[in-house]
């Protein structure tokens, strides 16, 4: 009986050793050969409408009533803004800007933006790029990072240059031109 147990133990050890040999420490991962990366430039307009019957951005949080900050520090907005080919709100729609932005500056109007640009037109239909960063909104031109993407923009990284095309200081409504360069 001891001989039979020893034989089973040896067979078991050989099986375990074969499994261990074929499943090295990186067996759960595999390296994929990457194709050449693409660089894509996108130009579109972001329509942020806070006023009227159908606003595309609404305030979801605000600081206490005793906060009289001129920069609206602490206010947070949720947006589902149209993206269009041109600055005219009736120009061809190319997607939606969906996400949040909030006033993060006490001494300047500095927004922190977490926004997905979800495209609905052409070859990029169904693809998104993600922007996350500071938007010093009163600067004539500002640059923000692109930190990811989906669909044709998987593994995207890059930058967005924003320039205000039109701003209504009374309502806060704005049209902002975006020039976005992404590597993907």
> At CA 48, angle to CA 45 and CA 52, rounded to 5?
135
Q: How many CA atoms within 13 Å lie on the side-chain side of 25?
A: 0
Confidence at 29, pLDDT banded by 50, 70, 90: confident
Whether residue 97 has pLDDT greater than 90: yes
Q: Give the mean pLDDT of 40-55.
A: 98
Structural domain that includes position 75: 37-183
Residues sharing a CB contact under 8 Å with residue 4, sequence separation 6 or more, in sequence order:
none
Give the CATH number, domain containing residue 138: 2.40.480.10
Residue 138 lies in a domain: yes
Enumerate the H helices of the chain as residue ranges: 2-22
Confidence class for position 30, pLDDT limits 50, 70, 90:
confident
The phi and psi torsions of 84 (rounded to 5 degrees) equal: -130, 165
Question: Is 108 inside a domain boundary?
Answer: yes
Q: Is residue 120 part of a domain?
A: yes
pLDDT at position 152 is: 97
User: Is residue 43 a part of any domain in this protein?
Assistant: yes
Residue 76 forms part of a structural domain: yes
**Rounded distance, CA 63 to CA 75, Å?**
6
Domains held by the chain: number: 1
**Per the domain annotation, does 134 fall within a domain?**
yes
Average pLDDT, the chain: 89
Specify if 128 maps to a domain.
Answer: yes
User: Do the Cβ atoms of 151 and 129 come closer than 8 Å?
Assistant: no
Poorest-confidence range of 26-35, 104-113, 152-161?
26-35
Structure confidence by residue, pLDDT tens digits, 79-93: 999 999 999 999 999
Strand partners, 98: 80, 116
Spatial distance between the Cα atoms of 157 and 58, rounded to a whole number of angstroms? 28
Cα separation, 46 vs 111, whole angstroms: 15
Residue 17 lies in a domain: no
- Closest by CA to 132, choosing from 101, 156, 154, is 101
Is the pLDDT at 9 greater than 70, yes or no? Answer: no
First to last CA, the chain: 64
């Amino acid at each position: 009986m001891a001989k039979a147990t020893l034989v089973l133990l040896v067979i078991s050890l050989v099986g375990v050793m074969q499994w261990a040999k074929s499943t090295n420490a990186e067996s759960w991962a595999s390296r994929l050969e990457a194709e050449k990366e693409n660089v894509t430039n996108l130009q579109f307009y972001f329509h942020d409408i806070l006023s009227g019957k159908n606003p595309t951005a609404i305030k979801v949080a605000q600081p206490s009533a005793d906060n009289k900050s001129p920069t609206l520090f602490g206010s947070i907005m949720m947006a589902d803004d149209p993206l269009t080919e041109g600055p005219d709100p009736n120009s061809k729609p190319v997607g939606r800007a969906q996400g949040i932005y909030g006033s993060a500056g006490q001494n300047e109007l500095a927004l922190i933006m977490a926004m997905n640009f979800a495209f609905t037109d052409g070859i990029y239909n169904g693809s998104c790029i993600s922007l996350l960063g500071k938007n010093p909104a009163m600067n004539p031109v500002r640059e923000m990072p692109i930190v990811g993407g989906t669909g044709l923009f998987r593994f995207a990284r890059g930058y967005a240059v924003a320039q205000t095309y039109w701003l209504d200081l009374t309502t806060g409504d704005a049209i902002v031109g975006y020039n976005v360069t992404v590597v993907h």
